[in-house]
Amino acid sequence: MALSREQIMTVTMNTTAFTVCFAVWTMFSVIGIPIKENLGLSDTEFGILVATPILTGSLVRLPLGMLTDKFGGRIVYFLLMVSTIFPIWLISVLTSYWALLLCGLFVGLTGGSFSVGIAATARWFDKKNQGFAMGIFGAGNAGAAVTKFVAPTLVVVYGWTSVPQVYAAAMTIMAISYWFLTYKEPASHTAGKSITIKEQLAALKDPTVWKYCQYYSLVFGGFVGVTLWMTKYYVSEYGLGIQVAALMAAIFVLPSGVIRAAGGWLSDRFGAHTVTWWVMWTSLACLFVIAFPDTTVSITTLSGDPIVMDLGVNMWVFTALLFIVGIAWGLGKASVFKYISDEYPDNIGVISGIVGLAGGLGGFLLPILFGILVDVFQFNTVVWWLLFGITLVSLMWMHYSDERATDRRLKAEGEAEGIR
């Protein structure tokens, strides 16, 4: 596939901007740990703190997707980045928990960059290559790994307040670069200008859209929730320092973001359902093992001497399984959006906004639920029970949906058009 200069620059700049935005969106996963210690927060309060930016970033995805359909991605993306620069910097001078929560809501606007960038990227490519292009863009999720690598060092060397200061500077540079290195979308790329708000919101009545929301609330919402929680989990469960804990968490975060491009290619090749089906089964198997808590079993023998067995998952086995889950979710994030580009090519901005909203809300709710579960049950592995249950529900929904027929129909249409 030969790409034009405009296509290359569009994918490159949209992905880079999304990487920066995602790094900012998840920065509380690292700076929240010293803030928790300084303010004496509970696990639930910590969960709310790290999840607050995720809430805003989720809620704005739908309106931003609608604006992108109407006005094009370039202008919407640029204005979005500019609007977040001051709130990011302001985090560094706040000392009150409630002030941090309030400012976190504004910082969370960076999370809305997904619905802008995914639509702006997809429209530059034909249908047979959209999955791969959107997968490359989605690899910007690796911005969470940037936070895992960069933020802990800044915290240790300069203090946690240096992180939002550096990120505000990075966002400024990114916004300026984006404006001068991207191209205005041709009129043919913004067909959504003729779609009314009422027509856009009609998608909310489509049960198929809600099914994709369920899938994305796991593969993306789970990714965000686990990303926000993992550094603290390694500190609490395995007693690691913040730098080592963040690096261990990056083993999950980085591949899950980077592999998304492969998920797009596989979805183009084998169909969205096939990829998503294996993603769910792989996740379910790994989460079943991860969710097993440290347990001591005592068996009374005939001689009266008990046999004591310690059952559980050590840090290295846990990390290996989490790595596999991250890979699976990375593929799934792309395959879900392949569903959307296949089924809703003329309304991709608003549909991606709705599905992205559901995924973001999953990422918002999960850290709070994790904190509540840990506070109530007083052991860390309880968080995996929740994710196991969500995965099981998704698999059941897939089983009772005739999505294989959709894959076969789309493949037949592609062959008829000479695409494959």
Q: pTM for the complete prediction?
A: 0.76
Q: Give percent of the chain with pLDDT exceeding 70.
A: 90
Residue 187 lies in a domain: no
pLDDT in tens, 2-57: 677 887 888 899 999 999 999 999 999 999 999 999 999 999 999 999 999 999 98
Question: For the domain that residue 270 is a member of, what is the CATH number?
Answer: 1.20.1250.20
* Residue 123 predicted with pLDDT over 60: yes
* Residue 282 predicted with pLDDT over 80: yes
pLDDT for 419 equals 47
Residue 380 lies in a domain: yes
Residue 32 lies in a domain: yes
Residue 214 lies in a domain: yes
Residue 388 lies in a domain: yes
User: Which uninterrupted H or E stretch holds 307?
Assistant: strand 306-311
Question: What is the tally of structural domains in the chain?
Answer: 1
Residue 278 lies in a domain: yes
Burial group, residue 251, by CB count within 10 angstroms (0-12, 13-18, 19+): middle
Range in 87-91, 226-230, 397-401 the model is least confident about = 397-401
Residue 290 lies in a domain: yes
Helix extents (H) in 60-142: 61-71, 73-90, 97-107, 113-122, 127-138
Residue 65 lies in a domain: yes
Q: Average of pLDDT values for 108-132?
A: 81
pLDDT in tens, 127-182: 677 777 777 887 787 888 889 889 999 999 999 999 999 999 999 999 999 999 98
Tokens of 37: 């210690």
- Give the residue numbers spanning the domain of 394: 10-181+198-414
* Residue 407 predicted with pLDDT over 80: no
Q: Give the residue with greater pLDDT, 378 vs 285.
A: 285
In whole angstroms, give the CA distance from residue 357 to residue 237.
Answer: 31
